[in-house]
Amino acid sequence: MNNVITTGDMLLMLLMGYLIGSLNFAIIYSKLFKKDDIRKHGSGNAGATNVLRTYGKAAAALVFVLDILKGAAAVLIANLLYPNSRDICACFAAAGAVLGHNFPCYYGFSGGKGVATGFAVLLLLDWRVALIALGVFLITALVTRYVSIGSTAAAIAAPVAAIVFHFVNNSVSAAVCVLSVCLGILCILRHKENFVRLRQGRENRIGGRSDKK
């Protein structure tokens, strides 16, 4: 295959990733097994955390794994089709997958926040960045008992780690740096309602309810 990556190639991978990412498994699970719509419950978010609070651990685990797999699939397909793109095509596919999860074309462009899918694409693009983000998420979420704060901290940690690796030893590509920054900004913006609930004391804690009864 020609090693020259065109704008058309990048847009094709963005579209491919978006169509895969638009398979929102929280919505699919609720409609298929519960004859319901997860977006009518809890935070209204179509993601694994809201599935956990609404349908339980087994359903949440299934949705989480499938969200991981769809992000991984988008990156793997791009790498298979464009093995010499220096991460460029894979990053476009990754961006598409996360955008699809957040704004699924199959479900009225109302989806989740893309945390699990974002983690999956980063894991395949650079496992060190992904694991640093995961570690920050776990520590922050366990200390604060808020998933939203953990997710926001991870969204900041990932681009910082990617940029540090890029400038220290050039072991992370510029494309991954740009992607991690964009995904971090998107993740923070998607949590704006959580920030409002945090200020009001209405955000649900891990293993409990909100501060206000």
114 vs 135: CA distance, rounded Å = 17
Tens of pLDDT, residue by residue over 4-56, are 899 999 999 999 999 999 999 999 999 999 999 999 998 889 999 999 999 99
CB 98 within 8 A of CB 183: yes
Establish if 27 belongs to a structural domain. yes
Does a structural domain hold residue 206? no
Residue 212 pLDDT > 60: no
Judge whether 170 lies within some domain: yes
Classify residue 212: in a domain, yes or no: no
Domain that holds residue 41: 7-200
Residue 104 tokens read as: 């699924």
pLDDT of residue 86: 87
What pTM was computed for the model?
0.92
| DSSP count for the chain of H helices, then E strands | 10, 0
Residue pair 2/83 in contact (Cβ under 8 Å)? The answer is no
Q: What is the pLDDT, as a whole number, of residue 209?
A: 56
**81, part of any domain:** yes
119 lies in some domain:
yes
Whether 210 is in a domain gets the answer no
pLDDT at 126 over 70: yes
Average of per-residue pLDDT across 194-210: 82
Q: Are 24 and 105 in contact (CB under 8 A)?
A: no
* pLDDT average, residue stretch 159-172: 95
pLDDT confidence of residue 211? 45
Higher pLDDT, 84 or 212: 84
**What's the domain count of the chain?**
1
DSSP state of 4: P
pLDDT bucket at 1, cuts 50 / 70 / 90? very low
Taking only the tens place, the pLDDT of each residue in 102-124 is: 999 999 999 999 999 999 999 99
On whether residue 209 sits in a domain, the answer given is: no
List pLDDT tens digits, range 137-149: 999 999 999 999 9
Instruction: Give the Cα separation of 127 and 105 in Å (integer).
Output: 29
